[in-house]
Amino acid sequence: MSTKFQTEVKEIISGNIGLIEEQAIRDAPGGGDLIKVRGGAISVDKISPKRLGNYGGNIAAAIGSKEDPSGYKGSVFVERDAGEIAAYVEFGTGQSAATYLATVPPEWRSLAMLYYISGTGSIIAQPYLLPAFLKYQIQYVKDLKKALKDLRL
């Protein structure tokens, strides 16, 4: 493929990685935000420091992205130092997790199971990463199809 086309594909990848990251940051709880639980909401000071990690419940601040040097792939992630609360908020706990996880791809269910403790938690799923990924995955495919359609050999 031409250098121009390769550059365009890399820009599409980079742009969509950035959009996923931005959307996840907007949707994730930030510092001082409440966490939804059965029966209402709680502040992060009500959550065990063991579960909060080094970001003190500010999940939005722990979201980042990284592009492969090749330019053809990248990832959006939540820093491990954000603590288990990042997964509990994404997937929910207890019955909320069971209900939400029934609707997600199998690899996300497997990821959530790494954080399973007892199945009795009360945090309501407040997904921020998967919805961003799914939204921009669709946009990414549209952008690539357009680039291919516009390709002149």
pTM comes to 0.90
pLDDT at 152: 67
Q: Structural domain boundaries of the chain?
A: 3-141
pLDDT value at residue 153: 60
Residue 134's CB is within 10 A of a number of other CB atoms, namely 13
Closest CA to 19 of 122, 143, 113: 143
Q: Please identify every stretch of the chain with a pLDDT value under 70, giving residue numbers as ranges.
A: 1, 152-153
C-alpha 48/C-alpha 67 separation (Å) is: 33
Strand locations in the chain (E):
35-37, 40-42, 63-67, 74-78
pLDDT digit string, tens, across residues 77-115: 999 999 999 999 999 999 999 999 999 999 999 999 999
Give the orientation angle of helix 3-27 with respect to helix 129-150, to 10 degrees: 160
- pLDDT given for residue 101 in this prediction: 97
Strand partners, 76: 65
